[in-house]
Structure 1
Amino acid sequence: MPEIVQLLASPVHRYLGRPADGPTPAAPGELVEEIRIRAGLGIVGDRYFGRPAHRDASVTLIASESLPPGADLVQVRRNILTVGLAVDELVGTVLVLDSGEGPVSLRVNRAAHPCAWMDATIGPGAWKALRGRGGVRCTPLTDGTLRVGPVQVTTG
C-alpha cells in the first residue's frame, strides 16, 4: 500500500537569490504530521496558500523513489513525499488521496521541474538526476486533511 512519508507546510521561501549563496534557514516546524488542504487555495500555513499565481501549483508531490538516500522535503521543497506511488506519471489526471480523514482530490497539472538549488541542497548532480522525476504540481479540488502514514490512492 502506498504511504505518505513526509509532509511540509512552510510559511517561508528558502530559495532566494543564487544557489551558491545557500538557502535561508528552515522555519521551525515545517515538517508536520498532517496538513489541511483547502480547495483552490492550497495548504493552510504554506507559503503559497491563496496566492493567485500559485493556485494551479499550490500542492506539490514527489516520490521518495526519485530521491537519493537521505534527501527529503526540506531539500526539495515539495509538500508531500510518497512511497509506492509513481507521481511523475500522473500529469493530466485527478489524484484522490485518503489517509484516513476522507478523500482529498488533486488535479495533477504539470511536472515540478527541479532547479539548480537541488545541487546546493542535496548535492552535486542532483539537479540533473531529478529531471523527469522532480514530482508534480497540483490544484486542490476539495477540502480535506492528509496525514503521514498509509494512504489509499485512486486516479481518474
Structure 2
Amino acid sequence: MTTAEEGHAGVWDQVKLGKIYISGGHDYWGRQGAGRLQNGIRDVEEVECVAGKGLVGDRYFGYRQDFKGQVTFFEEEVVEEIRAHFKLPKLPASVFRRNLIVSGVRLGEWLGKRFVFQGIEFEGSQECRPCHWMDRVVEDGTERFMKEGFRGGLRAKVISGGLLRVRV
C-alpha cells in the first residue's frame, strides 16, 4: 500500500480534489445505437465512501461484489489538455462522468496499487476506457485522444470507508 507515511508516496499529500461528481443513473451504458439518457450529474462538496460498495448516491454504488469501478478518478490536467486541444475552454469536467477530479498526480502510476487519499484506502484497478460517447459529448476525435497516455482516468475500488471533501 502506498501512503504518505512511507515517504515515497508523499505525492498524495500534494493531490488536490477539485470536484466530486455523482449520478444516480447511467446516461450512456448499454445505449449503443440509442440516444443518451438524462440522469444528470451532481456536483457535491463531499461524498461518503463505503468499503466494497463505492460512493453513496452514485450509479455504481453496490453495483456488484468486487466491482473494479466503484469510484473513478480523473486528472484536472487532462481536462485542461482536452479543453486546449479541442479549443473548448469552457468545457465542464462533468461531461466526462468521472467521480473525482484531482490535480497533482499521474493516475497511471497508481494502477494495480493500493493508496490512501484523504484517509481513505483505495485500490487502482483499471484504466477508465473512453468510448464513442466522448466524441458525441465533446467533439469528434475525443475518444482517440483520451485513449492515448492514460487520459481516460482510473477506476478504483474503495477498500476503507470515510468522507471525501473537495480541497483545492
Q: TM-score range by the shorter chain?
A: 0.7 to 0.9
Say whether the 8 Å CA contact 1:6–1:80 is kept in structure 2. Answer: yes
Does residue 76 of structure 2 align to residue 58 of structure 1? no
Q: Tell me which amino acid in the other structure corresponds to 1:135.
A: G
Larger proportion of helix? 2
SS in 1 for 2:61: coil
Alpha-carbon distance change, 4 to 124 in structure 1, aligned in 2, over 3 angstroms: same
Deviation at 1:26, TM superposition (A): 4.3
**Alpha-carbon distance between aligned partners in 1 of 2:113 and 2:47, rounded to the nearest angstrom:** 22
Number of the residue aligned with 1:154: none
Number of the residue aligned with 2:98: 78
Larger proportion of strand? 1
Give unpaired runs (5+ residues) of structure 1.
151-156
Segments ≥4 residues shifted beyond 4 Å: none
Which string of whole-angstrom CA distances, capped at 9 and with x for unpartnered residues, describes residues 55-75 of structure 1? Answer: 221111010111222444421
Which string of whole-angstrom CA distances, capped at 9 and with x for unpartnered residues, describes residues 62-96 of structure 1? Answer: 10111222444421111101111111221011121
Give the alignment's TM-score, normalised by structure 2.
0.78
Number of the residue aligned with 2:32: 18
SS in 2 for 1:123: coil
Give unpaired runs (5+ residues) of structure 2.
1-13, 84-89
**Alpha-carbon distance between aligned partners in 1 of 2:16 and 2:57, rounded to the nearest angstrom:** 23
Moved more, 83-92 or 65-74: 65-74
Deviation at 1:31, TM superposition (A): 1.3
- Report percent identity of matched pairs: 28
**Alpha-carbon distance between aligned partners in 2 of 1:53 and 1:22, rounded to the nearest angstrom:** 29
Cα RMSD (Å): 1.9
**Alpha-carbon distance between aligned partners in 2 of 1:7 and 1:137, rounded to the nearest angstrom:** 15
SS in 1 for 2:134: helix
